[in-house]
């Protein structure tokens, strides 16, 4: 009997101990964006929490019920954030208390995210800067001059706590597409007649609707979302271009990829369920139809440019209900630069040279469209009407004549002939006249 009693006591003790904690903190991650800092707690299960702020000195206190944290990660860096220190302890024997010591006043946002796919339950705390000196959204240019540049919003997919697809060797989609986007921005901004801005400039998450809003505040003429996705099988390969569809996807793979990208807002903490009904009404507007027509034309040019340097997954512009493309007044395309789940394409995407080639192919396609159909109040329109001199390009370090020719979709011979170039080549700082392709 004593033995049986001892076993019962031990079992009861274990049950009470197990019931004492609802979750365990698996990891703590921090991301810095231009206007806020995000801290994410990865939890082993759902948990209730409370947050409250204290002044003099500024602090944020987070209490997570029936949760334990063994130790804080040693690699958390609070540089350029309002957080000066983070500490933790136990409250009433079972609740986790985390205290953030703050260097300045902030506005707090917080929410729980349920487990999804490979992601744990997460508690997200956002520290919004009240007076941020960092660059936020700004108007890209003054559009009143009558000869403004064509404005391109370049959106590197995913970011921050949302890595996107992960390829062999832990190659993150979010890093690959940001590098391609930066190179694409450089190409546009080194070409007279264009002004390109990045939707996200670093490793942080931006909600899908917010990405569209940023492009609208830029007064963009084109929105390009850059991705390198994964598919169910590693055999899928090739680049592709997508535009929005009001009637569903044009292929099974388009539907699959659209769902993957739309689900990223579940990672970033924005639910689309309460917005689609409102947006559906906007999609019926004539301006949306015009934007979609332009998207298909631009997409076809980009697809043609990419087809010259890599294999295509589809030889036509696919259409699917990508949430990030649902801008009623801005032509928008989503470019899949390759399947990061394919080992061969992942090896290419991991190299700087291939990423530059991909950016040049995208640029060439977009430039080809706007040379033929520029917005009427732009420099490119004035150039087409013969009101201004031909386009020019100033040679930068690392440029070669063949790369410049490919970038502008002209031949090396055309460049040499137009600029009377000697066989000795080109020099940094030299300005070339770019002939019409």
As a whole number of angstroms, the distance between CA 258 and CA 260 comes to 5
Q: 389: Cβ–Cβ under 8 A, 6 or more apart, which residues? A: 383
State mean pLDDT over 365-394. 89
Residue 428: pLDDT above 60?
yes
For 259-306, write each residue's pLDDT tens digit: 667 766 665 554 434 444 444 343 334 456 778 889 999 999 999 999
pLDDT of residue 16: 37
Mean of pLDDT over the chain:
83
State mean pLDDT over 323-331. 82
pLDDT of residue 391: 74
pLDDT of residue 13: 39
Q: How far is CA 109 from the centre of its chain?
A: 21
57 preceded by a cis bond (ω within 30 of 0): yes
pLDDT of residue 215: 93
Q: Confidence class of residue 30 from pLDDT cuts 50, 70 and 90?
A: very high
State mean pLDDT over 232-246. 87
Phi, psi (rounded to 5 degrees) for 319: -130, 135
Q: 137 and 215 in contact (C-beta within 8 Å)? A: no
For 181-228, write each residue's pLDDT tens digit: 999 999 999 888 999 999 999 999 999 889 998 998 999 999 999 999
pLDDT of residue 387: 85
Tell me the DSSP string of 248-297. Answer: --SSHHHHHHHHHHHHHHHHHT---TTTHHHHHHHHTSHHHHHHHHHHHH
pLDDT of residue 131: 66
For 45-66, write each residue's pLDDT tens digit: 999 999 999 999 999 999 999 9
Q: How far is CA 130 from the centre of its chain?
A: 24
| Residue 15 vs residue 384, higher pLDDT | 384
pLDDT of residue 233: 80
């Amino acid at each position: 009997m004593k033995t049986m009693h001892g076993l019962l006591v031990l079992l009861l003790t274990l049950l009470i101990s197990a019931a004492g904690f609802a979750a365990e903190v698996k990891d703590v991650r921090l991301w810095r964006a231009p206007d806020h800092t995000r801290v994410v707690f990865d939890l082993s299960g759902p948990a209730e929490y409370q947050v409250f702020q204290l002044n003099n000195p500024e602090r944020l206190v987070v209490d997570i019920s029936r949760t334990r944290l063994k130790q804080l990660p040693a690699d958390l860096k609070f540089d350029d954030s309002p957080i000066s220190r983070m500490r933790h302890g136990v409250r009433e024997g079972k609740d986790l208390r985390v205290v953030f010591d703050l260097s300045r006043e902030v506005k707090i946002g917080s929410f729980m995210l349920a487990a999804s796919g490979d992601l744990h339950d997460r508690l997200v705390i956002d520290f919004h800067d009240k007076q941020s000196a960092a660059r936020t959204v700004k108007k890209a240019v003054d559009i009143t001059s009558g000869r403004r540049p064509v404005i391109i919003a370049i959106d590197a997919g995913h970011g921050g706590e949302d890595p996107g697809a992960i390829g062999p060797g832990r190659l993150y989609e979010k890093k690959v597409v940001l590098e391609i986007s930066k190179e694409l921005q450089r190409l546009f901004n080194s070409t007279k007649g264009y002004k390109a801005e990045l939707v996200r400039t670093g490793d942080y998450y931006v909600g899908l609707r917010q990405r569209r809003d940023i492009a609208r505040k830029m007064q963009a003429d084109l929105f390009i979302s850059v991705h390198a996705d994964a598919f169910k099988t590693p055999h899928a390969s090739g680049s592709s271009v997508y535009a929005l569809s009001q009637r569903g996807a044009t292929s099974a793979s388009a539907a699959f990829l659209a769902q993957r990208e739309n689900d990223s807002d579940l990672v970033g903490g924005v639910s689309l369920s309460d917005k689609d009904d409102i947006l559906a009404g906007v999609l019926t507007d004539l301006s949306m139809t015009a934007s979609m027509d332009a998207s298909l034309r631009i997409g076809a040019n980009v697809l043609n440019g990419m087809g010259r340097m890599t294999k295509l997954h589809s030889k036509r512009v696919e259409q699917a209900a990508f949430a990030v493309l649902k801008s009623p007044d801005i032509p928008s395309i989503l470019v899949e630069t390759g399947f990061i789940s394919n080992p061969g394409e992942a090896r290419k995407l991991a190299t700087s040279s291939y990423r530059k080639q991909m950016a040049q192919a995208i640029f060439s396609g977009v430039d080809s469209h706007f040379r033929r159909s520029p917005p009427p109040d732009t420099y490119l329109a004035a150039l087409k009407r013969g009101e201004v001199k031909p386009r020019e390009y100033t040679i930068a370090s690392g440029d070669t004549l063949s790369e410049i020719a490919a970038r502008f979709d002209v031949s090396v011979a055309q460049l040499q002939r137009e600029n009377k170039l000697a066989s000795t080549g080109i020099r940094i700082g030299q300005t070339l006249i770019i002939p019409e392709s």
